């Protein structure tokens, strides 16, 4: 409300006079009375302090990360966001910037994208990164499209059942009607190694997630080797925080690397906007979707930033475009760049280590609770699976009454995992939060 400045009656009369009408109702005279918006039944006018108090009272009825302890992840995570991230994002030159088609007037936005790309290349070990993917799901789907455009004679994409179920749906949706065959996740209980059975000479991309949807960390080198042996590309969907501790996509032999960038300084925000991270190898740069910013020099020899190394069909020849990514998503990329710059190498490693330790402490405590079974799928990060003695939705309803947001109900997406909960923890979960969570689950057993 502090951003709203009301006008006086005199100012209102002056505005109406300047457009030649004598009242606000006259503005709507051409609209038939029976289709005009009905009279609103509004309360009495309130002062600004009264409005703030009323809105705060309404907002306090919401349950969120600031009011509850949270153990829900499944693709969006409650990480700490430094105040400086929001303060920089709110600067008008960034907050209102749109597509930087004219470099001479877009140097600030272009430099911000360039710095973001540079940080991501350092984080992933890949040669080039872009900006402007909407979220992790669309980034992964665009990776499938790019692989098909690189290997034009191949019409098959292999995905695994341990990829986020929402991402798999987006991949299938984007490729529907294209004649591309999507296989590999028909058996939702199949192990990751099952993907090897689907790779053949028609495969354009083999898509895997590690840590996967269940939090399990996989050795992807054998899968990359199998894909490359058949001439296919390997797509690694990774956790950007986890890269501070584990092998990078480059180490794993990935040709394309994607991720959900939300953990990098972007709040939960009721589900968005988020950030799709996309990186690849240099030889595929001309097939990449989104935007790439390069560093050059202007006619005077001064350093300058420009969009480069990508087909402009995605902007001006839509019928020839290979991607629908066009809208500028650079504000979220800026948030990630600010976060990574503030945290630095050691800060990111500390966040990753705290996330790892809190997740494993939670699993260890739950393993000793009667009625619950922590499923051992191998090494894990951030998330793990727990078999519960009751339906997960009933447990979560009871937890919410105690100020706790419980884990994700895996039975929604995996029929063989009824009464299984996906539990997540980050650096924001204190030992007291975890102990209370475990105590309440024990009481519910």
Domain limit, last residue, from 317, 339, 361:
339
- Considering the domain boundaries, does residue 263 fall inside one? yes
How far from 326 is each of 85, 112, 143, 323, CA to CA, in Å?
Answer: 25, 18, 16, 8
Whether 359 contacts 425, CB under 8 Å: yes
Radius of gyration from C-alpha coordinates of the chain: 25
Degrees (nearest 5) of the Cα angle 52, 66, 164? 125
- Considering the domain boundaries, does residue 169 fall inside one? yes
- Considering the domain boundaries, does residue 308 fall inside one? yes
- Considering the domain boundaries, does residue 246 fall inside one? yes
For residues 88 and 159, membership in a common domain is answered with: yes
Domain count, the chain: 2
For residues 280 and 357, membership in a common domain is answered with: no
Domain limit, last residue, from 313, 339, 365:
339
Q: What is the pLDDT of residue 272?
A: 87
Q: Which of 414, 415, 272, 270 is nearest to 335 (CA)?
A: 272
- Considering the domain boundaries, does residue 257 fall inside one? yes
Q: What is the pLDDT of residue 325?
A: 67
Instruction: Please give the DSSP secondary-structure letter assigned to residue 40.
Output: P
Q: Which of 114, 107, 175 is nearest to 140 (CA)?
A: 175
Q: Which of 174, 122, 223 is nearest to 236 (CA)?
A: 223
Q: What span, in angstroms and rounded, lies between the C-alpha atoms of 379 and 95?
A: 41
Q: What is the pLDDT of residue 318?
A: 64
Q: Whole domain around residue 438: which residue ranges?
A: 344-444
For residues 103 and 126, membership in a common domain is answered with: yes
Domain limit, last residue, from 339, 359, 394:
339
Q: What is the pLDDT of residue 1?
A: 41
What CATH number is attached to the domain comprising 265?
Answer: 3.40.640.10
Q: What is the pLDDT of residue 44?
A: 85
- Identify the bridge partners of residue 303 per DSSP, sorted by sequence position: 297
For residues 223 and 291, membership in a common domain is answered with: yes
Identify the sign of the CA torsion 183, 187, 188, 190.
Answer: negative
| Reported pTM | 0.88
Q: What is the pLDDT of residue 41?
A: 81
Helix (H) or strand (E) holding 258: strand 256-260
Q: What is the pLDDT of residue 264?
A: 97
Two tokens, residue 90: 């709110």
For residues 321 and 409, membership in a common domain is answered with: no
For residues 392 and 268, membership in a common domain is answered with: no
For residues 318 and 351, membership in a common domain is answered with: no
For residues 380 and 257, membership in a common domain is answered with: no
For residues 254 and 309, membership in a common domain is answered with: yes
For residues 368 and 310, membership in a common domain is answered with: no
For the chain, which residues score pLDDT lower than 70? 1-4, 97-98, 310-322, 324-328
For residues 293 and 391, membership in a common domain is answered with: no
For residues 231 and 298, membership in a common domain is answered with: yes
- Coil/strand/helix, residue 48: helix
What CATH number is attached to the domain comprising 426?
Answer: 3.90.1150.10
Q: What is the pLDDT of residue 338?
A: 97
- Considering the domain boundaries, does residue 39 fall inside one? no
- Considering the domain boundaries, does residue 113 fall inside one? yes
- Considering the domain boundaries, does residue 52 fall inside one? no
Question: Model confidence over 184-234: pLDDT tens digits?
Answer: 999 999 999 999 999 999 999 999 999 999 999 999 999 999 999 999 999
């Amino acid at each position: 409300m502090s951003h709203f400045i009301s006008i006086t009656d005199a100012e209102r009369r002056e505005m109406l006079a300047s457009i030649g009408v004598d009242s606000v109702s006259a503005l709507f005279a051409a609209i038939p009375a029976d289709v005009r918006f009905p009279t609103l039944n509004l309360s009495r006018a309130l002062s600004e302090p009264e409005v703030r108090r009323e809105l705060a009272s309404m907002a306090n009825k919401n349950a969120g990360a600031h009011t509850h302890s949270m153990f829900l992840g499944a693709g969006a995570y409650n990480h700490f966001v430094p105040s400086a991230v929001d303060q920089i994002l709110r600067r008008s030159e960034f907050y209102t910037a749109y597509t930087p088609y004219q470099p001479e007037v877009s140097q600030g936005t272009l430099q911000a994208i360039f710095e973001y790309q540079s940080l991501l290349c350092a984080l992933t070990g890949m040669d080039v990164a872009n900006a402007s993917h909407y979220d992790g799901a669309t980034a992964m789907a665009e990776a499938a499209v790019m692989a098909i455009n690189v290997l034009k004679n191949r019409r098959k994409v292999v995905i695994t059942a341990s990829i986020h179920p929402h991402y798999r749906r987006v991949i299938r949706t984007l490729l529907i009607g294209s004649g591309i065959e999507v296989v590999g996740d028909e058996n939702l209980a199949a192990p990751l190694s099952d993907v090897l059975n689907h790779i053949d000479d028609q495969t354009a991309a083999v898509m895997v997630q590690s840590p996967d949807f269940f939090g399990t960390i996989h050795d992807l080198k054998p899968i990359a080797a199998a894909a490359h042996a058949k001439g296919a590309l390997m797509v690694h969907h990774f956790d950007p925080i986890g890269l501070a501790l584990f092998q990078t996509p480059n180490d794993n032999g990935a040709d394309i690397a994607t991720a959900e960038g939300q953990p990098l300084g972007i709040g939960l925000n009721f589900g968005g906007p988020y950030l799709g991270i996309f990186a690849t190898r240099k030889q595929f740069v001309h097939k990449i979707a989104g935007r790439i910013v390069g560093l050059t020099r202007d006619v005077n020899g001064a350093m300058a930033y420009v969009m480069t190394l990508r087909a402009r069909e995605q902007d001006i020849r839509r019928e020839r475009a290979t991607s629908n990514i066009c809208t500028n998503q650079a504000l979220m990329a800026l948030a990630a760049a600010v976060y990574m710059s503030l945290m630095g190498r050691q800060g990111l490693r500390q966040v990753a280590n705290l996330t790892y330790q809190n997740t494993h402490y939670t699993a260890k405590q739950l393993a000793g609770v009667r009625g619950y079974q922590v499923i051992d799928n191998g090494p894990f990060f951030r998330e793990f699976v727990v078999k519960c003695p009751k339906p997960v939705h009933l447990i979560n309803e009871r937890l919410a009454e105690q100020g706790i947001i419980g884990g994700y109900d895996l039975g929604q997406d995996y029929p063989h995992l009824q009464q299984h909960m996906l539990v997540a923890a980050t650096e924001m979960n204190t030992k007291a939060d975890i102990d209370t969570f475990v105590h309440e689950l024990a009481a519910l057993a």
